[in-house]
């Protein structure tokens, strides 16, 4: 399925949009899939836990509170996400291992990169509604991301499947 978020946004005014304030770190700039959500603060143990469950073409949206002090995803977790079938990961926070991330063939978006690793205490909430500065992200939404931004819909556009 060939698509563009700008065109789909015109066709689906009910959709939520997020501006492309995120930087693309992965090998795929365009990706789409059903949303899983995670809310954490400078702790990525739950990120690993969720990615290990298997993605089946889903997109993990991680609300790290916008913190740029520690990375919530790096090369090891990005490879895990790809191996477990995730279409992409969107981090409202920071990542690290930028050179490694470029080689992983999934969508990886984050606000910035930082070299500092996060805590591993296991704090965080899985599959909860997220309130990002530009949109509310709900578990089960369908997310489409490309160079124009991110589009959140209640389901796949026109009944289509994930792609990108």
Report pLDDT digits (tens) over 108-150: 999 999 999 999 999 999 999 999 998 999 999 999 999 999 9
Q: What is the pLDDT of residue 83?
A: 97
User: How many Å apart are CA 112 and CA 22, to the nearest integer?
Assistant: 8
Is the dihedral angle over the CA atoms 92, 11, 141, 134 positive or is it negative? positive
User: How many Å apart are CA 113 and CA 93, to the nearest integer?
Assistant: 8
Do 17 and 134 contact (CB within 8 A), yes or no? yes
Q: What is the pLDDT of residue 158?
A: 73
Q: What is the pLDDT of residue 1?
A: 54
User: Is pLDDT above 90 for 164?
Assistant: no
What distance, in Å, lies between the first and last C-alpha atoms of the chain?
Answer: 8
- For 62-107, the pLDDT digits (tens) are 999 999 999 999 999 999 999 999 999 999 999 999 999 999 999 9
Q: What is the pLDDT of residue 159?
A: 47
Residues 17-145, CATH architecture: 3-Layer(bba) Sandwich (3.50)
* Backbone dihedral angles phi then psi of residue 125, each to the nearest 5 degrees: -120, 130
SS3 10: helix
pLDDT class of 162 with cuts at 50, 70, 90:
very low
Is the dihedral angle over the CA atoms 147, 29, 107, 123 positive or is it negative? negative
Bridge partners for 136 per DSSP: 131
pTM of this structure? 0.94
Q: What is the pLDDT of residue 44?
A: 97
Do 24 and 91 contact (CB within 8 A), yes or no? no
CA dihedral 114, 61, 47, 39 (to 10 degrees): 90
Binding site, annotated residues? 74-77, 96-97
Binding site, annotated residues for Mg(2+)? 97
User: How many Å apart are CA 58 and CA 15, to the nearest integer?
Assistant: 18
Q: What is the pLDDT of residue 4?
A: 95
pLDDT class of 6 with cuts at 50, 70, 90:
very high
- Count of C-beta atoms within a 10 Å radius of residue 54: 11
- For 18-70, the pLDDT digits (tens) are 999 999 999 999 999 999 999 999 999 999 999 999 899 999 999 999 999 99
The encoded tokens of residue 145 equal 């991301």
Whole-angstrom Cα Rg for the chain? 14
Binding site, annotated residues for substrate? 74-77, 96
């Amino acid at each position: 399925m060939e698509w563009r978020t700008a065109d789909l946004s015109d066709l689906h005014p009910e959709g939520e949009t997020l501006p492309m304030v995120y930087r693309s770190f992965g090998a795929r700039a365009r990706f789409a899939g059903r949303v899983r959500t995670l809310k954490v603060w400078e702790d990525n143990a739950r990120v690993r836990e969720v990615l290990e469950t298997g993605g089946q073409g889903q997109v993990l949206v991680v609300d790290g509170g916008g913190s740029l002090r520690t990375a919530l995803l790096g090369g090891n977790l990005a490879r895990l996400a790809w191996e477990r079938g995730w279409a992409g990961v969107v981090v409202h926070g920071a990542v690290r291992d930028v050179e490694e991330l470029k080689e992983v063939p999934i969508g990886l978006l984050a606000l910035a990169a930082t070299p500092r690793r996060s805590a591993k205490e296991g704090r965080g909430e899985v599959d909860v509604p997220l309130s990002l500065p530009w949109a509310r992200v709900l578990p089960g939404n369908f997310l489409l991301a490309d160079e124009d931004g991110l589009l959140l819909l209640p389901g796949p556009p026109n009944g289509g499947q994930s792609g990108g």
